[in-house]
Structure 1
């Protein structure tokens, strides 16, 4: 284990740049997947004829596919039909597709957890179905969904490492390059230990934030 050789300023900067790519891809994917997941989950909950069925079929199909396959499809298969994405865009697209499906199920379940009595009371007070959904059901459901949604975001951050298969210059990709510069493999432990600590720092911070937010709402 060569800590001094592994932790040179140049190596640390290279690893840090990869981590910034990881955070960027994760952040954009989180925002987009939450938007699409919220829309898909709400439409499924609303049980709009035809629309709900189509969305359910798409969501269930995506949820039962490996994320790695979706990444491969986005980067290698889409160009065959004229849609060519650069590496970062392909990674964000694949992660957004997969995580949107996962989040939509969390959101649909959260909406269904709101007691029917509150919905009936809101409707009897004169609120329309849409007003009841967004003013009564949604606020309560979102509070209950905080822990599973944050857990899914943590999984998304870790899943960015799968984009190494398309050479996205993220944390694990850069760690592998640095490890390859060591003839005797002496960089492996220090480099990947530091990468693990970077992942842990962000994911643990997200977990703490979720716990505090949940505690405030109880």
Structure 2
């Protein structure tokens, strides 16, 4: 091991550039998967005819596929049907498609966890289905959804490393380039630094989630 030679300013900047790509891909996929996942969850929760069972089948199919398969398919198979994406867009699309299925189940579970008696009481007072969802169901479900949702987002951030299979220039990809120059001396320092970056980011997310959950519990 040689920490000084492995973690030179140039190497650190190269790894941080890869981490920037990691954060870009993860943040994009988080926003998109949450939006699409919410729509899917609400449509299934509302039992919209035709759409609900179709979306349910799609969600189950995606949840039972390896993420790596989806990443490789998006990058190398989609061009065969005329859809060409660069490596970053491919990673974002693949992660979004996979994670929206996971997030939709978390959100739907949160919605279903609200006591039906409260829903019936709200409807009996004259609230519409949409008003009941907005004012009664969602505020309670949101508090219950925070821990599993954040856990899924943390998993998503770590799963960006799978995109090394399509040469996405993310943190692990750039780390590998550095330690391959001298595996016997560089691999441990470089991987420890990469692990430190992942840990700091994911730990901060988990602490933010705990703070938000406590605040919402107090408000509701």
TM bin, normalised by shorter chain, reads over 0.9
CA distance in 1, matches of 2:127, 2:215: 28
How much has 1:185 moved relative to structure 2? 2.3
CA distance in 2, matches of 1:12, 1:59: 40
How much has 1:210 moved relative to structure 2? 1.2
Match of 2:207 in 1: 208
How much has 1:216 moved relative to structure 2? 2.3
CA distance in 2, matches of 1:126, 1:199: 49
Where does the alignment leave 5 or more consecutive residues of structure 1 unmatched? none
Q: Deviations over 1:175-202 (max 9, x none)?
A: 00001111x5210000000000000000
CA distance in 2, matches of 1:89, 1:117: 45
CA distance in 1, matches of 2:147, 2:46: 23
CA RMSD across the alignment: 0.8
Match of 1:156 in 2: 156
Match of 1:31 in 2: 31
Deviates more, 1:121-130 or 1:53-62: 121-130
CA distance in 1, matches of 2:131, 2:209: 28
TM-score w.r.t. the length of structure 2 is 0.97
CA distance in 2, matches of 1:14, 1:2: 18
How much has 1:12 moved relative to structure 2? 0.6
Match of 2:10 in 1: 10
Where does the alignment leave 5 or more consecutive residues of structure 2 unmatched? none
TM-score w.r.t. the length of structure 1 is 0.98
Q: Runs (4+) of structure 1 moved beyond 4 Å?
A: none
Match of 1:102 in 2: 102
How much has 1:215 moved relative to structure 2? 2.1
1:46 maps onto 2:46 in alignment: yes
CA distance in 1, matches of 2:165, 2:41: 30
Number of equivalences: 217
Deviates more, 1:112-121 or 1:126-135: 126-135
Match of 2:68 in 1: 68
How much has 1:46 moved relative to structure 2? 0.6
CA distance in 1, matches of 2:32, 2:95: 9
How much has 1:153 moved relative to structure 2? 0.3
CA distance in 1, matches of 2:148, 2:192: 28
SS of 1:85 mapped into structure 2: coil
Deviates more, 1:3-12 or 1:207-216: 207-216
